[in-house]
């Protein structure tokens, strides 16, 4: 059982304002996919990764802080509204951040990070939480100098400065922003773990939904052919299977895990946030691969299409396998078997038409989803009986 008194762990529903805030990031996913599609090189992939870390980091910071502050408080609501407005401008600049809109991306990004974190450091209830966000400000300050320098230098050198800044931000998130001799245990906090777990679940659905929209937009912009329709249907089937991989058979499995483990629910949440970086990268890659496949469903296969079309789901399965292994201690082996099948199929897909590659992908993902549905139902019953 948790060492914190029950009143300190209130259960709050996700508010309409938080859902409204999440919709700002539909634009971000679309812009990230567009940037990668326009720069299908290893450098373009690195640029997309840097932008993704920055964008999702701003979502993660704000969502965690809104949960810790309590979204029903007026100061929290104003913070969310402010971040929404800044996020709109930041996300709109994504596709040209490495060209002529570096400052249009960096200024809102830093305003979000410093503004939200300062608000929490001042308005949080309890010394441990205020201390944690003071430490977070130290990490943000360290990376801010690099974000600013990167915006000021020539575009060719920008990736190096921003790459190091993104690495600092990512490391801080993964390690919970430690400083020498100063650490924070999740058991010290008044923390609604169920709330942020639900936020992550809903955010995953938004990411999957944006990928569906990408497939639909691609079909609308290309000549209507039978092959294009079948390719789009195949992409949709793959996305449904990817949804079922996480949610199928156990809608509340991770929430049950939080309740069952009890002593440090923030660990489960922190792992979930870390996993979400990889899930977002996986879905951006898959969206671009799907767009290329739907554009030319009967064309020649290529290493690029195979890498995106199979690599995205591979990263998705690998990330969720790690998450389920670390939290629920189950439902991970089936994911790793799916990863092995995707590697083999991806090598084969280099020589296959995209439409055949999508069919092969569907077989693997649907089979994995069916296996996981049974496993996750059993795991949920086991955890629920603890």
Cβ neighbour number for residue 14 with a 10 Å cutoff: 17
159, 188, 217 - which closes a domain = 188
Three-state SS across 263-321? CCHHHHHHHHHHHHHHHHHHHHHHHHHHHHHHHCCCCCCCHHHHHHHHHHHHHHHHHHH
Whichever domain contains 272, its CATH number is: 1.20.1410
Judgement on whether residues 95 and 158 belong to the same structural domain of the protein: yes
Domain extent at residue 332: 193-384
Judgement on whether residues 85 and 117 belong to the same structural domain of the protein: yes
Both tokens assigned to 155: 């575009």
Those residues of the chain that have pLDDT short of 50 are 1-9, 386
80-84: long-range contacts at Cβ-Cβ below 8 A with a sequence spacing of 24 or more? 80/17, 80/18, 80/21, 81/17, 82/115, 83/21, 83/58, 83/112, 83/115, 83/116, 84/20, 84/21, 84/24
Judgement on whether residues 230 and 329 belong to the same structural domain of the protein: yes
Cβ neighbour number for residue 182 with a 10 Å cutoff: 12
**Residue 293 CB partners (closer than 8 Å, separation 6+):** 231, 235, 305, 309, 354, 355, 357, 358
Judgement on whether residues 51 and 81 belong to the same structural domain of the protein: yes
pLDDT score at 265: 64
pLDDT score at 286: 95
Judgement on whether residues 175 and 29 belong to the same structural domain of the protein: yes
C-alpha dihedral sign at 250, 377, 269, 287:
negative
Instruction: Establish if 201 belongs to a structural domain.
Output: yes
Distance CA 238, CA 250 (A): 19
163, 188, 213 - which closes a domain = 188
Tell me the pLDDT tens digit for each residue of 286-317.
999 999 999 999 998 899 999 999 999 999 99
Cβ neighbour number for residue 35 with a 10 Å cutoff: 22
Tell me the pLDDT tens digit for each residue of 1-11.
334 444 444 56
> At 311, phi and psi to the nearest 5?
-70, -35
Instruction: Establish if 2 belongs to a structural domain.
Output: no
Judgement on whether residues 234 and 299 belong to the same structural domain of the protein: yes
Of the candidates 104, 106, 141, the one whose C-alpha atom is nearest the C-alpha of residue 121 is 141
**How many domains, the chain?**
2
Instruction: Tabulate helix, strand, coil % of the chain (nearest 5).
Output: 80, 0, 20
Nearest-10 crossing angle of helices 193-221, 16-38: 40
Distance CA 54, CA 63 (A): 14
127, 154, 188 - which closes a domain = 188
Judgement on whether residues 346 and 203 belong to the same structural domain of the protein: yes
Judgement on whether residues 128 and 47 belong to the same structural domain of the protein: yes
pLDDT score at 8: 44
Instruction: Establish if 5 belongs to a structural domain.
Output: no
Instruction: Establish if 3 belongs to a structural domain.
Output: no
Judgement on whether residues 163 and 31 belong to the same structural domain of the protein: yes
Judgement on whether residues 130 and 42 belong to the same structural domain of the protein: yes
Judgement on whether residues 233 and 104 belong to the same structural domain of the protein: no
Judgement on whether residues 131 and 214 belong to the same structural domain of the protein: no
């Amino acid at each position: 059982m948790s060492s914190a008194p029950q009143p300190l762990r209130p259960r709050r529903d996700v508010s309409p304002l938080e859902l409204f805030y999440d919709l700002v990031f539909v634009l971000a996913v679309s812009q990230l996919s567009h940037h990668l599609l326009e720069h299908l090189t290893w450098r373009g992939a690195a640029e997309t990764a840097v932008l993704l870390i920055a964008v999702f980091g701003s979502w993660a910071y704000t969502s965690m802080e809104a949960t810790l502050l309590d979204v029903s408080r007026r100061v929290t609501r104003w913070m969310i509204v402010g971040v929404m407005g800044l996020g709109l401008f930041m996300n709109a600049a994504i596709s040209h951040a490495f060209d002529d809109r570096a400052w249009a991306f960096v200024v809102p990004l830093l305003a979000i990070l410093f503004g939200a974190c300062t608000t929490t450091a001042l308005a949080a209830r309890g010394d441990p939480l205020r201390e944690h966000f003071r430490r977070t400000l130290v990490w943000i300050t360290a990376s801010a100098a690099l974000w600013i320098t990167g915006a000021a230098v020539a575009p060719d050198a920008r990736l190096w400065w921003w790459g190091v800044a993104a690495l600092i931000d990512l490391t801080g998130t993964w390690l919970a922003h430690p400083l020498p001799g100063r650490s924070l245990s999740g058991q010290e906090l008044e923390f609604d773990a169920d709330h942020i777990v639900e936020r992550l679940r809903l955010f995953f659905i938004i990411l999957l939904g944006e990928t569906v929209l990408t497939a639909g937009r691609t079909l609308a912009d290309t000549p209507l052919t039978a092959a294009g329709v079948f390719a789009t249907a195949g992409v949709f089937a793959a996305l449904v299977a990817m949804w079922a991989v996480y949610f199928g058979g156990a809608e509340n499995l991770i929430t049950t895990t939080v309740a069952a483990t009890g002593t440090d629910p923030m660990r489960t949440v922190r792992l979930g946030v870390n996993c979400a970086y990889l899930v977002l990268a996986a879905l951006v890659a898959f969206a671009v691969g799907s767009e290329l496949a739907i554009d030319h469903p009967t064309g020649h296969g290529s290493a690029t299409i195979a890498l995106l079309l199979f690599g995205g789901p591979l990263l998705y399965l690998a990330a969720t396998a790690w998450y389920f292994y670390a939290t629920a201690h189950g439902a991970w082996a089936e994911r790793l078997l799916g990863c092995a099948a995707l590697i083999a199929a991806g090598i084969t897909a280099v020589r296959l038409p995209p439409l055949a590659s999508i069919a092969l992908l569907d077989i693997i993902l649907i089979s994995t989803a069916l296996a996981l549905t049974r496993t996750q139902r059993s795991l949920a019953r086991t955890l629920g009986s603890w």
